[in-house]
Amino acid sequence: MTHIITALHAEAKPIIRHFNLRKLENSNIFEAYANNTQTITLTISGIGKLASAAAVIHTMNIFQSSKMRSWLNIGIAGHKSLDLGTPVIANKIIDTGSKQSWFPQIVFKSRLLNLPIMTIDTATDQYPDGFMLDMESSGFYYSACKVTTCELVHCLKIISDNEHTHYQQLNESIIQSLIENNIEEITRLIDSLKTLSLEIKEITCDENLYNKLTSIQHFTHSHKIQLKKILKKWEILFPTTVPDMNRIHKFKNAQEILDYLMFTLDKTPVSY
Amino acid sequence: MINRIYIEKEVASHHKTLQICNKFSNASVIDCDHYSEVFNRKAQNFRLQKKSPGLILAHKHKNLVMPAPSEYSIGGDLNYYFSHMLNCIYDCRYCFLQGMYRSANYVLFVNYEEFYQQIKLICNSHADKSCHFFSGYDCDSLAMEPVTGFMQYLLPKISDIPNLLLELRTKSTQIRSLLDIEPINNCVIAYSLLPDRLAKALDHKAPDISSRLASARKLQDQGWNIGLRFDPLIYDTDLEKTYQTFFADVANKLDIEKIHSVSIGSFRLPAHYFNKLSSYYPEDKLITSPFEHSGKSVSYKNDVKKRLLSYCYQEVCSYYPLEKIFPCEALEQYI
């Protein structure tokens, strides 16, 4: 799943259209959208780093986000000399207010240009050399990295203004076109992040077996965590065999079940 | 290979920085104030970063050379270790680096001169003692040599320090820079080895065992001291058969009379490193091994450890003289 945060409606519209996102009825603080399967969500934060940070937390709450999900801040940014419409991924984020820096880790293959970005508090037409300028990235990145691992958090910016065409000349339709024209790049980036997020492994086990065992005896929370780990090992060592349920039914408590399973696993040498 | 290079402002114009940036002219160059801003950050995933690690060029200010843990000894009076690099290009499943560091990015400290000065200073201040220095604790000593040129810089300088011995721990076949120079007597190239089948399953991205042995043999034939590091030993079905064949193969391919030293130890990790490893790779067979927590560390259960260590120790003793064998952990209770 990918959570997208945009500052403006105009930035959101082409993405909502392309991914066929629907507005959520119950999201009344920030406007939020999702596709049918909730594999792509989009939240409109409004302008500024605080708004963006708050939108991340809001999104996390309404979609019950897990560590395996990726986060994307998509929006427009200024740059002294780059052509309008150039898509750029941020490789360093500097918050000009706090002077803090972050370093997004681009560990997937990407043909996108990557550059540092400065998040500023007020719009300007003074463009520093070598940096993009925006008003959200630092707040977004700071907040999203509290929710997941930094390799899955990125800021994709489309250059909307430069020293020849200042930001005052932007309007809703220009912004929409800038995003619309880069929808393929956006899709590619979402796909890359999706593939990457699959590398994060959660400890999962055979749910049927887990439910069966936990219905036989009372398992405390800690017992349940242990059981999941043990069943995961069981799956690896005995992919086609289930534990002896007749024997398990004779045990008096959860600990005895766990001990039996562990004993069976430990006496089985691992074969590489 | 490297798609992003982070450069501490302090080393931006260092000759090594410029040289390395030239080698990776397509990489994005990103400046930082201190390497820890990138490397030590929370919310990083070692496993994900291992897919495409970046390179951080930095200056090491203190603790350039540190006292080595006691079990690291191969007979020296004083033991030290140093790391001109943090992290490794290989991805060995049992490696403690993935538990120790949050980031899989490589850090290269470019102030090589200061490493040398520190080593020289220690040797001079303990002139009456043998000082052993271990490289390859936080990285493979040779794997990145074509990029770093660190050993090419260091080895000629330390060759005439009489009370020094330098161990280069490696799995690498990048030995060109060693073959190009005269062998240095006070240097040991120490190869980490595992039975081939286990290495294939666990030593991801590392050269296979026959290539490692071929490199060791080439170096040995040229006159370099070769050490053998059977650490960590990994428990496996048919361990006796597996390890018997393995030790015989190693002895067969090298001149065992000339082996400098052999060390041996079973898989063990600090518990919190092991927990991280299990969370990164819950599906890996290594994690399913019969381990137990003992104090702050995780190792094989006693009976397994005894079987593994006693068998392997006896086998090793059948090929090499006792005075050349150095256990990496207390073996008394297991052999």
Which pLDDT tens digit goes with each residue over B219-268?
999 999 999 999 999 999 899 999 999 999 999 999 999 999 999 999 99
Domain limits for position B234: 4-327
Mean pLDDT throughout A187-191?
A: 98
Does the beta-carbon distance from A150 to B201 stay under 8 Å? Answer: no
Cβ contacts of B41 on chain A, cutoff 8 Å: 102-103, 150
Q: Is B235 part of a structural domain of the chain?
A: yes
pLDDT at A26 over 90: no
Q: Is residue B242 situated within a structural domain?
A: yes
Q: Give residue B10's pLDDT band: very low, low, confident or very high (50, 70, 90).
A: very high
Q: Where are the beta strands (DSSP E) in B106-215?
A: 106-109, 131-135, 164-170, 187-192, 203-204
The per-residue pLDDT for range B26-37, each reduced to its tens digit, is 999 999 999 999
Residue bearing tokens 């952990």: B329
pLDDT at A148: 95
Is residue B161 scored above 80 in pLDDT? yes
Q: For position A201, what pLDDT does the model report? A: 78
Q: Contact A199/B48, CB-based, under 8 Å?
A: yes
What is the per-residue pLDDT for A202?
A: 76
In chain A, which residues have their Cβ closer than 8 Å to the Cβ of B302? none
CB of A198 within 8 Å of a chain B CB? The answer is no
Q: What phi, psi does B192 have (nearest 5°)?
A: -85, 125
Task: Determine the length of chain B.
Answer: 335
pLDDT of residue B329: 85
CATH number of the domain that B101 lies in? Answer: 3.80.30.30
Answer yes or no: do A91 and B30 touch at CB < 8 A.
Answer: yes
B49/A107 Cβ within 8 A? yes
Query: Where would I find the H helices in A128-220?
Result: 137-144, 172-180, 183-197, 207-216
A229 alpha carbon, distance to own chain's centre:
25
Mean pLDDT (whole number) for A221-241: 92
pLDDT at A133 over 80: yes
Q: What is the pLDDT of residue B312?
A: 97
Q: How many domains does chain B have?
A: 1
Please name the member of A101, A196, A270 whose beta carbon is closest to the beta carbon of B37. A101
Task: Reply yes or no on whether the pLDDT at B332 is more than 80.
Answer: no
State which residue of chain B sits closest to A112, comparing Cα positions.
B28
| Per-residue model confidence (pLDDT) at position B217 | 98
- A67 against B298, higher pLDDT: B298
Could you tell me if residue B248 is inside a domain?
A: yes
- Residue in A92, A108, A271 closest to B237 by CB: A271
Which residue in chain A is spatially nearest to B103 when comparing CA positions?
Answer: A105
- pLDDT band for position B333 (cuts 50, 70, 90): confident
pLDDT at residue A107, rounded to an integer: 97
The percent of residues in chain B predicted with pLDDT above 70, rounded, is: 100
Q: Has residue A203 got a pLDDT over 80? A: no
Predicted pLDDT at A28: 83
The reported pLDDT for the residue numbered A114 is 97
Q: Rounded to a whole number, what is the distance in Å from the CA of A257 to chain B's nearest CA?
A: 18
**In the predicted model, what is the mean pLDDT of residues B158-175?**
97
Going B93 to B7 to A77 to A122, the CA torsion angle's sign is: positive
Banded model confidence at residue A226, pLDDT cuts 50, 70, 90 = very high
Rounded CA-CA distance B23/A170 in Å is 41
**Residue B270 pLDDT > 90:** yes
Query: Lowest-pLDDT range, B67-71, B81-85, B122-126?
Result: B67-71
| Residue A203 near chain B (CB below 8 Å) | yes
Model confidence at B4, in pLDDT bands (50, 70, 90)?
very high
Which pLDDT does position A54 carry in this prediction? 98
A269:B281 CB<8 A: no
Q: What is the pLDDT of residue B72?
A: 82
Mean pLDDT of B147-171: 97
Shortest CA distance from B27: residue in chain A: A114
Cα-Cα end-to-end distance for chain A = 34
The mean pLDDT of chain A is: 95
* Complete DSSP assignment for A212-243: HHHHHS---HHHHHHHHHHHHHHHHH-TT---
Look up residue A265 and give its two tokens.
Answer: 């696993």
Looking at the domain assignment, is residue B332 inside a domain?
A: no
Pick the range with the lowest mean pLDDT from B245-249, B289-293, B315-319. B289-293
B115-128 pLDDT, tens digit per residue, is: 999 999 999 999 99
* Cβ–Cβ below 8 Å for A270 and B30: no
Residues of chain B in contact with residue A267, where contact means CB-CB under 8 angstroms, are 290
Q: How far is A78 from chain B (nearest CA, A)?
A: 19
Tell me the pLDDT band of B71, cut-offs 50, 70 and 90. confident
Chain A residues lying within 8 Å of B6, measured CB to CB: 103
Q: Does any CB of chain B come closer than 8 Å to the CB of residue A232? A: yes
Please tell me which of the candidates B30, B53, B283 has its beta carbon nearest to residue A236. B283
> B interface mutation test: which of A93, A102, A150 has the most B CBs within 10 A?
A150
- B226 inside domain: yes
Residues B236, A271: C-beta atoms closer than 8 Å: yes
Q: What's residue A66's pLDDT?
A: 79
Q: 């590619």: which residue's tokens?
A: A188
Q: Given this model, what pLDDT does residue A95 score? A: 98
What is the mean predicted confidence (pLDDT) over A29-45? 96
Among all chains, which residue has been given the structure tokens 């959208």? Answer: A33
Question: pLDDT confidence of A269, banded at 50, 70, 90?
Answer: confident
Q: Does A236 touch chain B (CB under 8 A)?
A: yes
Which of B51, B235, B285 minimises the CB distance to A236? B285
Q: Check residue B320 and report its DSSP letter.
A: S
Other CB atoms within 10 A of residue B130 CB: 16
pLDDT of B13 above 80: yes
Q: Is the peptide bond before B232 cis (omega within 30 degrees of 0)?
A: yes
Pairing of strands B297-300, B291-294: antiparallel
**With a CB-CB cutoff of 8 Å, which residues 32-51 of chain A face chain B?**
none
Q: Is the confidence at residue B3, as pLDDT, over 80?
A: yes
pLDDT of residue B107: 98
The rounded mean pLDDT for chain B is 96
Query: Tell me, what's the pLDDT at A64?
Result: 85
Report the C-alpha gap between B197 and B241 in whole angstroms: 12
Q: CB atoms < 10 A from the CB of B34, how many?
A: 15
Q: What is the ipTM of this complex?
A: 0.93
| A201, A265, A272: residue with CB nearest B201 | A272
Q: How far apart are CA B226 and CA B261, in angstroms?
A: 7
pLDDT for the residue numbered B316: 98
Decide if A103 and B44 are in contact by the 8 Å CB cutoff.
Answer: no
The residue-averaged pLDDT of A147-167 equals: 97
**Chain A residues touching B105 at Cβ < 8 A:** 105
pLDDT of amino acid B1? 80
CB B131 within 8 A of CB B43: no
Residue B31: its pLDDT value, please? Answer: 97
| A266 in contact with chain B, both atoms CB, cutoff 8 A | yes
Name the minimum distance, in Å, from the CA of A13 to any CA of chain B.
31
What pLDDT shows up at residue B136?
Answer: 86
Task: Catalogue all structural domains in chain A, each as residue range(s) with its CATH number.
Answer: 2-197 (3.40.50.1580), 207-266 (no CATH)
In tens, the pLDDT along A61-120 reads 999 877 789 999 999 999 999 999 999 999 999 999 999 999 999 999 999 999 999 999
